[in-house]
Amino acid sequence: MFLDLHPVTIVINLIVLGCGMTVHEFAHNFVAWKMGDPLPQKEGRLTLNPLVHVNWVGWLMFAIIGFGILGSARISPQRMRDPRWGFMAAVAAGPFSNLILAVICAIALRLSGLAMEGAYLYTHPDLVSSPVGILATLLYAMVFWNVLLFVFNLIPLYPIDGWHVVLTLLPGTWLNRMQVPVFIQRGIRPLSEFLMRPAFKWQDWRTVSYYVFIGLIFLSFLPVAGLSPFGLLIGQPTNAILRLLLL
């Protein structure tokens, strides 16, 4: 899971992740403010200044090893006019802002004809020398990392954005006991409880979800026959979106 530690790659990753993180956290805070949460404005987070949003340790970790906590937004549904849908909009705004940023940079790459050059130079940093080469590499890295941040943040595991999105989408109650098939009630009790109270059970499983998330991180760092859970969960969707945007 460790990335290329070439100095050029690290510098590019730091720049790109700083931009992606800033846009991501700004989007959380801005939409939350629009939905009625006054805290982002009070804390001065309605800005694109990365110094307001950056988690320095997580920023460096992500640039070097491909994982880290880039920032956080102290938004709360209790302070919003519509706690459910307002919170979902604010949470979803983060990852979708990364996708929008990736699309903008991908359009710039395709219009300039630098998409293939950028992809090649990013994997061969020793060849990056000219201003055009630097620009192509930066734009490609912007597309790659922002697509990856979009996919990563939609994984439905706590504390990632995707877990909160699923929580807001699930109804509080769904099927009553008489509507849940008997074989599920008797043999698959967790599923039976979930079917009757989806959002409440999802909330109850938050701690378990967090441990699963941590476990997947550790497994992704272990050289077990090349198996990387996050490589499967993130890598394949990311590559599919990259092909759609750049080819």
Model confidence pLDDT, tens digit, residues 156-183: 999 999 999 999 999 888 777 667 777 7
Place of tokens 């990311």: 238
Q: pLDDT for 32-55, tens place per residue?
A: 999 999 999 999 999 999 888 888
| pLDDT category of residue 58 using cuts at 50, 70 and 90 | confident
Contact 2, 64 (CB under 8 A): yes
Nearest CA among 32, 7, 13, 37 for reference residue 126:
7
Residues 6+ apart with CB under 8 A from 53: 21, 22, 25, 26, 45, 71
Q: pLDDT for 117-140, tens place per residue?
A: 999 999 999 998 899 999 999 999
As a whole-number percent, the residues of the chain with pLDDT over 90 amount to 58
The tokens describing 136, both together, are: 């192509």
Higher pLDDT, 93 or 73: 93
CA angle 212, 54, 118 (to 5 degrees): 85
CA angle 77, 83, 85 (to 5 degrees): 115
